[in-house]
Structure 1
């Protein structure tokens, strides 16, 4: 586990004076409310298949039901009295469907559906403070405002500091990369057949946007585990599907100077700016800029399994994510201009797919990826930690003999239809699997001499648990308590 303080630069998108005033007003209202009961607003995000919904479900379930959290000092010492769900602060944000997700995990033994929109829960913790003064003041409650949102939306925030030409250049460079070109070819072929200097043709523009969206979707579903996929709302359009703000694509600049106002290129440029104005900036101001702390979940294993190019793509995505955070220590003065994110956790999920002897290596790979990102996006006083976790532990540890050696394996029930070495599983029988070993040096996974370390993974069903009232509370997990201790130890002191 690695922790560091990051000095220097803040991410500051192009905001107007009115935007700054609005952020300051939001922060002042929040600070006034904190005088009654303190609150901490925690963002939970991650790129595709990282397990955001399962993470939030397990975390809240553990706090509500007294789950096993020995590394959380307030819980271990008995100072954490209890937790309850209370009315969330934002009436215009969907409530996280906690009860449905718990039912899926406990009773159906199925994984809940992935995050498709922003949602929120407020969990109020009651605790006995360490400080005699705090006990005198009666500060024995803390609101946790937990905000779950798709990581693809986070990758849109750097667009606020880009113009259309820069966006197009970077997007087309990625599309023409050898790892993506085959997936992007239908769009690239269609783009070559159009002239950006000619007048806008709406059916043509819609077809280009459809092909570009298909390319992004193919990247997301690719076995190469590609991560850099802005614009994020193209994959999760919601109520904006078919709108002009989602009907733009990157184009090569016209050869004959500035295009006319009625041209295809000018229309794409206008719609790109509209996307920033009506989609990205409201998300930043209304949600992202209000966060105090942030959890970023990463499906590191999938990227390792896909090889060096997938890891490089993931490193670039993490770099873009890190560049978005308005990070630093919070103070009364900083609250006047909106809170800063003062603690960030990057968590490699699905650690239960590996024997515990491999967890340090998994953590080291993620730390290596985040270190590269830190060099590009410097922080100002924020604390950053990396760890390997499993939100819900779907396996138990086992061992197997190979010759005279004993190797560490994991045992669980693979989901119906999963296969390894030609064997297809029925979703009912438990099997033991040796997933493979990670290199001791994570640098061996990336760079010109890197090689793929294929791991034998299957998706396991959630574990079968005793759901009787007398059963041990909480869902089994790996290191959720350590994550909570890092995030909340100062708030529960």
Structure 2
């Protein structure tokens, strides 16, 4: 194990030195990481971002485009032949069909390369030709990022923390009864191990459906090709006083360590450690709707996510990065089109407050951070309607039915977000069971049918500002 760690460290060091030496003599590359927790809209964000960088008629806040310096943008084969390609064409077809629908969520790491041809500025503008910049977009589930917190924990510590957290979550009671009734000093019974892992996974799924964000281990929700393998067949159990060798508890401990070494470590080594810029998509409106407990869970989750971007915050990651750090991090509250624009500033303020602690840590580490509210694909239009003697700022769109099909068109007023984010975050921190002042509702909208002019990408809200923050300084 020690020799393996030394080899990993030496390899990473050589790669970093090689990048430093060769970058001045090669076409520059920005590796943009895109992550978000379930239902945050990663797939739609990437699809719309690429479409709007290729057809930039709706990107006035991207300075290089406003100055006419982006000459072309086009897709190219990605540099990593072993990583799945982000299925841009299929996702775009879903959003632009005559009866558009939301594309399937991505459930693993994927990549897409977009190359931009840019007119140079300054002294070289008149004597040099256009330069090229490659944007390598790496899509990965936020649930996997949260697994970083497991690396510095033993199985006993993780199990105790998880069992405590489950006491206050929907779906936790049934698993807790099962775990406490288990005699984990007995020898491994694979049938029992599978039953425990299945019940634990169901509890995680229930918590996520109820709006909770930290549902680690992440691969239990997105197992991919590892589903059913021993590395995903473990669960938290109370520690007996002296668990014997080859007991169920010891086997759960061994599989937990295997999960860290065979699942978590390769992800951070092969993908995360190479990211230059990062956008973290957050369904803040969904958490607000779910209530104070989900809101507080989201705040803690965001702080945990930022540990991955803070050198020194995690011993394992510090040894892996060897001084390399993410340069810019954008926290984006998605689904801004579910609110009238008059409330967007309040949503952004909530996002800033929600991630304040996390962003302060990142700034201290040298990363530039930003927060904004966006809609990667605008699915609604705005209306102001009379109601009980006053006028309400509403949004109108096509509703999604429970089975995911397109329903009727309706106007919707979600409630008024507070001007002071503390009115939400305060009760959430204090353990309130419900909001005292207001109920905040959300609706599920289908994508709107599009009629795009030549040179126009899909309609959005502030996607151009997000792009300017993330890559504008390199264009």
Structures share fold, TM-score greater than 0.5: yes
The reply on whether 1:128 has 2:119 as its aligned counterpart is yes
Name the counterpart of 2:424.
445
Q: CA deviation at 1:369?
A: 1.1
Task: Give the conservation status (yes or no) of the 8 Å contact 2:230–2:255.
Answer: yes
How many Å separate the matches in 2 of 1:375 and 1:33? 30
Task: Give the conservation status (yes or no) of the 8 Å contact 1:351–1:359.
Answer: yes
How many Å separate the matches in 2 of 1:378 and 1:248? 37
When structure 1 is superposed on structure 2, of 284-293 and 400-409 the one drifting more is 400-409
Q: CA deviation at 1:137?
A: 6.0
1:228/1:487 CA distance change after superposition, 3 Å: same
How many Å separate the matches in 1 of 2:80 and 2:414? 43
CA displacement 1:111-149 (0-9 Å, x = unmatched):
001121111001011111223247756571111000001
1:246/1:385 CA distance change after superposition, 3 Å: same
Name the counterpart of 1:299.
283
Task: Give the conservation status (yes or no) of the 8 Å contact 2:334–2:373.
Answer: yes
How many Å separate the matches in 2 of 1:447 and 1:92? 46
Task: Give the conservation status (yes or no) of the 8 Å contact 2:9–2:320.
Answer: no
Determine which of 326, 335, 341 is the counterpart of 1:350. 335
The reply on whether 1:77 has 2:77 as its aligned counterpart is no
1:163/1:335 CA distance change after superposition, 3 Å: closer
Determine which of 151, 159, 162 is the counterpart of 1:160. 151
The reply on whether 1:148 has 2:148 as its aligned counterpart is no
SS of residue in 2 equivalent to 1:410 = strand
How many Å separate the matches in 1 of 2:230 and 2:402? 40
Name the counterpart of 1:368.
353
Name the counterpart of 2:183.
195
Name the counterpart of 1:491.
474
1:454/1:22 CA distance change after superposition, 3 Å: farther
Q: TM-score, normalised by structure 1?
A: 0.88
1:240/1:335 CA distance change after superposition, 3 Å: closer
Q: CA deviation at 1:279?
A: 0.3
SS of residue in 1 equivalent to 2:456 = coil
1:344/1:265 CA distance change after superposition, 3 Å: same
Q: CA deviation at 1:322?
A: 0.4
Name the counterpart of 1:170.
161
The total of aligned residue pairs comes to 459
1:78-117 equivalences under 5 Å are: 78-107=68-97, 108-117=99-108
SS of residue in 1 equivalent to 2:151 = helix
Task: Give the conservation status (yes or no) of the 8 Å contact 2:30–2:276.
Answer: yes
1:317-336 equivalences under 5 Å are: 317-326=301-310
How many Å separate the matches in 1 of 2:129 and 2:323? 27
Q: TM-score, normalised by structure 2?
A: 0.91
Name the counterpart of 1:280.
264
Name the counterpart of 1:17.
6
Task: Give the conservation status (yes or no) of the 8 Å contact 1:44–1:149.
Answer: yes
> Please, which runs of 5 or more residues in structure 2 have no aligned partner?
313-318
Q: CA deviation at 1:242?
A: 1.4
1:126/1:378 CA distance change after superposition, 3 Å: closer
How many Å separate the matches in 1 of 2:106 and 2:138? 11
SS of residue in 2 equivalent to 1:447 = helix
Task: Give the conservation status (yes or no) of the 8 Å contact 2:56–2:455.
Answer: no
Task: Give the conservation status (yes or no) of the 8 Å contact 2:180–2:238.
Answer: no
1:426/1:398 CA distance change after superposition, 3 Å: farther
SS of residue in 2 equivalent to 1:251 = coil
1:220/1:34 CA distance change after superposition, 3 Å: farther
How many Å separate the matches in 1 of 2:154 and 2:128? 51
Q: CA deviation at 1:16?
A: 2.2
Task: Give the conservation status (yes or no) of the 8 Å contact 2:32–2:275.
Answer: yes
Measured on the aligned residues, the alpha-carbon RMSD in Å equals 2.4
